[in-house]
Structure 1
Amino acid sequence: MTDIETTSVSEQGFVTNSQVGDFELTIDATDEEGPNPNQVLVADYASCFLPAFRVAGQQRDHDDLGKLQIDAEADLDDDDDLSTVRFEIYVEEDLDDDELDEIVDRAEGICHVHAALRDDLHAEISAEGGAF
């Protein structure tokens, strides 16, 4: 049974339109009609980490962290592949460094994107010519 299905189409050039459930997402490798794939991945990672951070906070009896914000930065290597990702997390609730470190550690175990970014998770790929 498949849990997630998307359809991505590129009519020409480097723009891809992806249908994800009821939502459409435009990604452009040239940054002209939408964010590029690396930008989308970093934003997705941050968007997953924020709710994981909230859950981790709740598990440590911080039920109302207030507003959360991640400023994410990433570096690319010479092949334009992501080499590093950095998050600066801003939390409205006044927590000390030990509390924040504990919540971050727990959030890393909760965030699905964090778990997915590992060397052994690559797509299983098959290709079919003359499909259209």
Structure 2
Amino acid sequence: MKKWTAFLSNLMMWFICPVALAGWMSWSVLMYWDSNHTLFDSGWVSADNKQDRTITIKHSLPSAPTEVTMWFSPSPNGEPEYLLNWSWSADLSGNPVTIAANRSSVTLNIYKGVPLHGVWDPLSGWHQFSAGYFRVIAR
């Protein structure tokens, strides 16, 4: 029974999905859960690109995060939400330009010269936002 308890207490779950990139199929890890590690979720943090700025999000982790996942949404309730990835130029996909992390915070650097964020849809093309919300999930 002790072996099963130890196994279950260290259980890790990975959610993996296929991602098509330029005609190639690859795999992307979307979420990671480990019962022995703290997970930080910032909730939705308001942002805009009216001026060059830094958004500092304080986290509750015991050290600098080793894994960070970021999301963008044009609405405060997170619907729809878009995983941040930069496979396109900054003038299309936008901010944050730089993401930094240390033992107390995650910092997003926003450049006013590009959209706050841009998303592409095959039916309607590019949608670019000058205001919206970022969410940081880290461990």
User: TM-score by structure 2 length?
Assistant: 0.29
Identify, as 1 or 2, the structure richer in helix.
1
